[in-house]
Amino acid sequence: MFGKITEVPMVLATLIFSYFEVLYRMIVPRPRKSIAGQVALITGAGGGIGFQESLQFAAEGAKVILVDVNKKLLNKVVTAVEEKGGTVYSYVCDITSKSEVDLLFEKIWEDVGQVDILVNNAGVMPVRKISDLSQREIELTFHLNIICHFWLIQHVLPGMKKRRSGHIVEIASMAGVVGKSMLTDYCSSKFAVVGLSESLKHELQLEKFTDIHVTCICPMFVDTHLISNVLDHSNYKTDVLLTPEHVASVIVDATLRNKFMVSIPGYLLSLVYFLKLYIPMRALIKLDEFMREGFFPKTKAE
């Protein structure tokens, strides 16, 4: 008991230092690290954010491994990266299958070697009322949006621990911070991504692997193929959507600066946590309705 009491000043000092560090980093960002020559594996690289991540990580000098289920889309990304002078490897893989993921890494170990940066980017977003979701849709959402993340991390993490360096980037969503109607399965899976990121970071810190970093990205709606179903069921205007290029640039910058939790736009995470803490759920739902139907109304021409 006495030993625990003597640790209290150290805990308080750590808390105070952490707050000052956060304030300091709001003014003076961390310097960007170099990833030249490192290997970055990106899932869902065939389009949207994954396409742009592939180009931008390659532009930073990383060798990029592109993974997608669509070979035709992958070939386009490979061509785009090579035209920019990047080093690229591509693999067709259904990452919702554990056996295919195992075979994928056998090929990667043989062709490329260890992975320094893992970007869990692939995802799917059905838009249905919970009563209309099929078993297949629910299972696919969870297998692609979260379960396969565990398999991929389990393959790359031992090598990172051996080298005592590495970076795991989890693409979550603001839908992983606040629930949305018609997106019960998607929100649940993205909440799980946020939970995985926090838990993994804590686990690595406790094991003293301080140079293995975790970055969790929570963007608002991005103008990719995933958003089309949402637009069909809402009144959001497309001009408020984030572009894949911008989102990818934030992801790469957050990785190079070893940031942990990042929302896009940057203020959104703090705002949502504040609203959830101090505003009743009934009012939040009403605010959401206003944002969808009142603040960003579609015109009749649309």
Amino acid at 22: V
CA–CA separation, 71 vs 53, rounded Å?
A: 18
Q: Is residue 264 part of a domain?
A: yes
Element (H, E) at 229: helix 228-232
Categorize the per-residue pLDDT at 22 as very low, low, confident or very high, splitting at 50, 70 and 90: low
Q: Is residue 67 part of a domain?
A: yes
What is the number of domains present in the chain?
1
CA–CA separation, 138 vs 246, rounded Å?
A: 30
Q: Is residue 27 part of a domain?
A: no
Element (H, E) at 48: helix 48-59
Sign (positive/negative) of CA torsion 200, 184, 240, 119? positive
CA–CA separation, 167 vs 115, rounded Å?
A: 9
The SS3 of residue 268 is: helix
Categorize the per-residue pLDDT at 104 as very low, low, confident or very high, splitting at 50, 70 and 90: very high
The SS3 of residue 26 is: helix
CA–CA separation, 66 vs 243, rounded Å?
A: 20
Residue 204, domain extent: 32-273
pLDDT over threshold 50, residue 299:
no
CA–CA separation, 116 vs 159, rounded Å?
A: 9
Write the CATH number for 47: 3.40.50.720
The contacts found for 11-18 with CB under 8 angstroms, 24 or more apart, are: none
Element (H, E) at 108: helix 98-111
Check residues 284 and 230 and name the one with the higher pLDDT: 284
Please compute Rg for the chain using Cα positions: 20
Please state, as a whole number, how many other Cβ atoms lie within 10 Å of the Cβ of residue 125: 23
Q: Is residue 90 part of a domain?
A: yes
Q: Mention every residue, 6+ apart, whose C-beta is less than 8 A from residue 198.
A: 216
Q: Is residue 159 part of a domain?
A: yes
Q: Is residue 296 part of a domain?
A: no
pLDDT over threshold 60, residue 31:
yes
Q: Is residue 144 part of a domain?
A: yes
Active site amino acids: 186
Categorize the per-residue pLDDT at 3 as very low, low, confident or very high, splitting at 50, 70 and 90: low
Q: Is residue 298 part of a domain?
A: no
Sheet with 261-264, strands from edge to edge, namely: 88-92, 63-68, 39-43, 117-120, 166-171, 212-219, 261-264
Pairing, β 88-92 against β 63-68: parallel
Largest CA distance in the chain: 72
- What would the pLDDT profile of 111-168 be if each residue is shown by its tens digit? 999 999 999 999 999 888 999 999 999 999 999 999 999 999 999 999 999 999 999 9
pLDDT at residue number 18: 64
